[in-house]
C-alpha cells in the first residue's frame, strides 16, 4: 500500500480526486491538508471534511495549512467553482467531523519526519504553499519524501488563469519555485494531460449509472464546473484536472512523459507562474521532474468509474 498525504483546495475536481483515492485499496490516505486556492481556506477545510464524510472516511484527519500565498496577492477561482468551491451539490448540512487544531504545515513536517525515509508520497492538488513552507522550516524532510505527485503547470496548453500560467502555479509561484528546486522526485500532471481528460456526456452518464451517492455527487459537481468551462473552451466536456494525479499512482502505464527540467517564472508580471519546461533539452539545466504529456483518456475514465462504484 502506498501511504499518501493529500494537500488540496476543494474544488469539484479535487473532490473527485479524493473520492478516487479513498476508493482505491492500493492507496492509504494518511491525512488531508486543506490549502487556500480555488476558494479561501475556511471553505476548503470544510469542503475536504464534507467529501471524506460522504465517502465514509470521517476518521481521516483534516488539517488546515496556509491561508494565503507566500508573496503574491491571493487569487481564487470562484468563477470556475462557484462561491462555495463545491457548487453543484447540497451543502446545507455542515460536516460533523472536526477540523484538527494543529496547523497543516507543522503536521506535514512531523508526518514526514515520523515516517520511514521514502515511505510517504505527497499528492498536491492546489497551490504549493504548504509544502514550500514545510521545506523552508524543515529542509531535512526533502530527502525523506518518496515522491511529490502534483497537478499544475502547462507546456503546450499554456495558461488557464493567465495566458502564460496554470492556476495552481500562478496562485503561488514562489512556493512552486521552492518545490521545483527542492531536489525531491516530482511527477507533474499539467494541463497538457488534463485537457485530454474531458467530462464528455457519455462519460458522465457512465458515472451516473453507478447509482451510488458518491458517483451522483461527482456527476453533480462536475456538471456545475462544466458550465463555465464549456463556454470557455468550446469543448464537449470540461477538463478533469486533479484526479489525474491519483490515476497516475494507480496506473502509471496509461500515462507518458519525460524527465525534464521545469523552472518557475517568479519575476515577469506578464508570465508570472509560467512553468518553463525544457522539453527538448535545449539547456543544461538538470531534469527535476517527470513531466507527463500523454494519457489514455478512456482508460482514465474507466478507472474512475469502476473505482467510484465501490464507494457508498
Ligand atoms: C487546477 O486549478 C484548480 O481550479 C483545479 O482544482 C485544479 O487543481 C487546474 O488548473
Ligand atoms: Ca485543485
Q: What is the pTM of this model?
A: 0.98
The whole-angstrom separation of Cα 187 and Cα 247 is: 12
Mean per-residue pLDDT for 25-51?
98
Mean per-residue pLDDT for 192-211?
97
Q: Which pLDDT value is given to residue 60?
A: 98
Mean per-residue pLDDT for 126-145?
98
Q: Ligand 1, closest atom to CA 81?
A: 4
**Which of helix, strand or coil describes residue 308?**
helix
ipTM, two decimals: 0.99
Among candidates 133, 131, 177, which has minimal Cα distance to 153?
177
**Cα of 20 from ligand 2 centre, angstroms:** 14
Alpha-helical regions (H) of the chain: 12-22, 41-54, 78-81, 104-114, 129-137, 167-170, 173-180, 191-194, 201-208, 213-233, 243-250, 297-308
CB atoms within 10 A of CB 144: 17
* 79 belongs to the catalytic site: no
Give the up-direction half-sphere exposure of residue 94: CA atoms within 13 A in the CB hemisphere: 9
**Which of helix, strand or coil describes residue 293?**
strand
Q: Model confidence at 234, in pLDDT bands (50, 70, 90)?
A: confident
Q: Could you say which of 59, 174, 241, 259 is catalytic?
A: 241
pLDDT for 207 beyond 90: yes
List the end-to-end C-alpha distance of the chain, in Å, as a whole number: 22
Q: Model confidence at 160, in pLDDT bands (50, 70, 90)?
A: very high
State pLDDT tens for residues 4-14.
999 999 999 99
Q: Ligand 1, closest atom to CA 171?
A: 2
The whole-angstrom separation of Cα 106 and Cα 168 is: 21
Mean per-residue pLDDT for 55-63?
98
**Cα of 116 from ligand 1 centre, angstroms:** 31
Q: How many helices (H) does the chain have, and how many strands (E)?
A: 12, 10
The whole-angstrom separation of Cα 33 and Cα 201 is: 32
**Cα of 282 from ligand 2 centre, angstroms:** 31
Mean per-residue pLDDT for 49-61?
98
Give nearest CA residue, ligand 1 atom 10.
Answer: 167
35 lines ligand 1 (CB under 6 A): no
Amino acid at each position: 500500500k502506498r501511504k499518501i498525504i493529500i494537500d488540496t483546495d476543494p474544488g469539484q475536481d479535487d473532490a473527485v480526486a479524493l473520492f478516487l483515492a479513498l476508493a482505491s485499496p492500493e492507496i492509504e490516505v494518511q491525512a488531508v491538508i486543506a490549502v487556500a486556492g480555488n476558494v479561501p481556506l475556511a471553505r476548503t477545510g470544510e469542503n475536504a471534511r464534507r467529501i471524506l464524510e460522504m465517502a465514509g472516511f470521517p476518521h481521516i484527519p483534516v488539517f488546515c495549512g496556509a491561508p494565503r500565498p507566500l508573496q503574491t496577492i491571493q487569487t481564487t477561482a470562484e468563477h470556475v467553482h462557484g462561491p462555495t468551491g463545491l457548487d453543484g451539490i447540497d451543502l446545507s448540512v455542515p460536516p460533523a467531523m472536526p477540523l484538527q487544531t494543529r496547523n497543516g504545515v507543522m503536521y506535514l513536517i512531523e508526518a514526514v519526519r515520523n515516517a520511514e525515509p521514502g515511505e510517504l508520497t505527497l499528492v498536491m492538488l492546489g497551490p504549493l504553499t504548504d509544502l514550500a513552507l514545510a521545506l523552508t522550516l524543515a529542509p531535512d524532510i526533502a530527502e525523506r519524501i518518496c515522491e511529490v505527485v502534483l497537478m499544475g503547470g502547462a507546456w503546450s496548453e499554456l495558461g488557464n488563469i493567465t495566458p502564460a500560467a496554470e492556476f495552481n502555479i500562478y496562485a503561488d509561484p514562489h512556493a512552486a519555485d521552492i518545490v521545483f528546486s527542492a531536489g525531491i522526485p516530482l511527477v507533474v500532471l499539467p494541463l497538457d494531460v488534463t485537457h485530454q481528460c474531458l467530462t464528455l456526456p457519455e462519460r458522465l452518464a457512465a458515472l451516473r449509472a453507478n447509482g451510488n451517492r458518491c458517483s451522483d455527487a461527482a456527476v453533480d459537481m462536475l456538471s456545475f464546473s462544466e458550465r463555465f468551462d464549456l463556454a470557455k473552451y468550446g469543448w464537449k466536456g470540461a477538463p478533469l484536472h486533479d484526479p489525474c494525479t491519483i490515476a497516475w499512482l494507480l496506473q502509471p502505464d496509461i500515462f507518458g512523459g519525460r524527465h525534464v527540467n521545469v523552472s518557475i517564472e517568479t519575476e515577469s508580471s506578464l508570465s508570472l507562474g509560467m512553468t518553463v519546461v525544457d522539453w527538448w533539452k535545449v539547456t543544461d539545466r538538470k531534469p527535476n521532474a517527470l513531466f507527463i504529456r500523454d494519457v489514455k483518456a478512456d482508460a482514465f475514465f474507466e478507472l474512475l468509474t469502476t473505482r467510484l462504484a465501490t464507494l457508498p
